[in-house]
Structure 1
Amino acid sequence: MAKLTVEDLPLEGKKVLMRVDFNVPIKDGVVGDDNRIVAALPTIKYVIDHGGRAILFSHLGRIKKEEDKPGLSLRPVAERLSNLLNKPVTFVPVTEGKQLEDAIDNMKNGDVLLVQNTRYEDVKDGEYVKRESGNDPELGKYWASLGDVFVNDAFGTAHRKHASNVGIATNMPGKAAAGYLMEKEIKFLGDAVDNPERPFVAILGGAKVSDKIGVIDNLLDKADKIIIGGGMAYTFYAAKGIKVGNSLVEKDKIDVAKQILDKAGDKLVLPIDNVVADKFNNDADTKVVEGDIDDGWMALDVGPKSVEEFKNVLKDAKTVVWNGPMGVFEMPNFAKGTLEIGKFLGTLTDATTIVGGGDSTAAVKELGVADKLTHISTGGGASLTYLEGNELPGIAAISDK
Structure 2
Amino acid sequence: MAKLTVKDVDLKGKKVLVRVDFNVPLKDGVITNDNRITAALPTIKYITDNGGRAILFSHLGRVKTEEDKEGKSLAPVAKDLSSKLGQEVVFVPATRGAELEAAIDGLEDGQVLLVENTRFEDVDGKKESGNDPELAKYWAGLGDGIFVNDAFGTAHRAHASNVGISENVDKAVAGFLLENEIAYIQEAVEAPVRPFVAILGGSKVSDKIGVIENLLEKADKVLIGGGMTYTFYKAQGIEIGDSLVEEDKLDLAKELLEKSNGKLILPVDSKEANAFAGYTEVKDTEGEAVDKGFLGLDIGPKSIEKFAKEIDGAKTVVWNGPMGVFENPDFQAGTIGVMDAIVSQPDCKSIIGGGDSAAAAINLGYADRFSWISTGGGASMELLEGKTLPGLAALTEK
Normalised TM-score (structure 1): 0.97
Task: Name the CA distance, whole Å, in 1 between partners of 2:305 and 2:246.
Answer: 27
1:224 aligns with 220
When structure 1 is superposed on structure 2, of 67-76 and 357-366 the one drifting more is 357-366
- 1:208-255 deviation per Cα after TM superposition (whole angstroms, max 9, x unaligned): 000000000011110000000000011110111111111111000000
Matching residue's letter, 2:302 = K
Task: Name the CA distance, whole Å, in 2 between partners of 1:382 and 1:349.
Answer: 28
Matching residue's letter, 1:36 = R
2:254 aligns with 258
1:358 Cα deviation from its structure 2 partner: 2.6
2:169 aligns with 172
On the 8 A contact 1:206/1:324 being kept in 2, the answer is yes
Task: Name the CA distance, whole Å, in 2 between partners of 1:266 and 1:92.
Answer: 56
Label 1:282 to 1:34 Cα distance change in 2 as closer, same or farther (>3 A): farther
Task: Name the CA distance, whole Å, in 2 between partners of 1:282 and 1:365.
Answer: 27
1:129-208 alignment, distance < 5 Å = 129-148=125-144, 149-173=146-170, 175-208=171-204
Matching residue's letter, 1:232 = M
State the superposition RMSD in angstroms: 1.0
- 1:287-340 deviation per Cα after TM superposition (whole angstroms, max 9, x unaligned): 111122222111000000100100101111000000001011222211111122
Matching residue's letter, 2:224 = I
On the 8 A contact 2:202/2:226 being kept in 1, the answer is yes
On the 8 A contact 1:342/1:360 being kept in 2, the answer is no
1:370 aligns with 367
1:101 equivalenced with 2:140 (yes/no): no
**Helix, strand or coil at the partner of 1:42:** helix
1:282 Cα deviation from its structure 2 partner: 6.1
1:2-401 alignment, distance < 5 Å = 2-124=2-124, 129-148=125-144, 149-173=146-170, 175-281=171-277, 283-289=279-285, 290-401=287-398
Task: Name the CA distance, whole Å, in 2 between partners of 1:97 and 1:328.
Answer: 47
1:88 Cα deviation from its structure 2 partner: 0.3
Task: Name the CA distance, whole Å, in 2 between partners of 1:284 and 1:37.
Answer: 42
On the 8 A contact 2:4/2:172 being kept in 1, the answer is yes
On the 8 A contact 2:321/2:356 being kept in 1, the answer is yes
On the 8 A contact 1:157/1:379 being kept in 2, the answer is yes
On the 8 A contact 2:156/2:391 being kept in 1, the answer is yes
1:70 Cα deviation from its structure 2 partner: 2.8
Matching residue's letter, 1:78 = A
On the 8 A contact 2:267/2:288 being kept in 1, the answer is no
1:116 Cα deviation from its structure 2 partner: 0.1
Give unmatched runs, 5+ long, in structure 2: none
Give unmatched runs, 5+ long, in structure 1: none
Q: Quote the sequence identity (%).
A: 62
On the 8 A contact 2:273/2:279 being kept in 1, the answer is no
Matching residue's letter, 2:165 = I
**Helix, strand or coil at the partner of 1:248:** coil
Label 1:29 to 1:105 Cα distance change in 2 as closer, same or farther (>3 A): same
**Helix, strand or coil at the partner of 1:130:** coil
Matching residue's letter, 1:81 = L
Task: Name the CA distance, whole Å, in 2 between partners of 1:47 and 1:357.
Answer: 26
Task: Name the CA distance, whole Å, in 2 between partners of 1:238 and 1:79.
Answer: 51
Label 1:276 to 1:375 Cα distance change in 2 as closer, same or farther (>3 A): same
On the 8 A contact 2:166/2:172 being kept in 1, the answer is yes
Task: Name the CA distance, whole Å, in 2 between partners of 1:78 and 1:346.
Answer: 35
- 1:36-68 deviation per Cα after TM superposition (whole angstroms, max 9, x unaligned): 000000000000000000000000000111011
On the 8 A contact 2:270/2:300 being kept in 1, the answer is yes
Task: Give the ranges of 4+ consecutive aligned residues of structure 1 lying more than 4 Å apart after TM superposition.
Answer: none
On the 8 A contact 1:282/1:332 being kept in 2, the answer is no
Task: Name the CA distance, whole Å, in 2 between partners of 1:2 and 1:52.
Answer: 24
On the 8 A contact 1:20/1:56 being kept in 2, the answer is yes
- 1:235-294 deviation per Cα after TM superposition (whole angstroms, max 9, x unaligned): 110111111111111000000011100110210110001011111126441111112222
Matching residue's letter, 1:222 = K
Label 1:85 to 1:282 Cα distance change in 2 as closer, same or farther (>3 A): farther
On the 8 A contact 1:343/1:364 being kept in 2, the answer is no
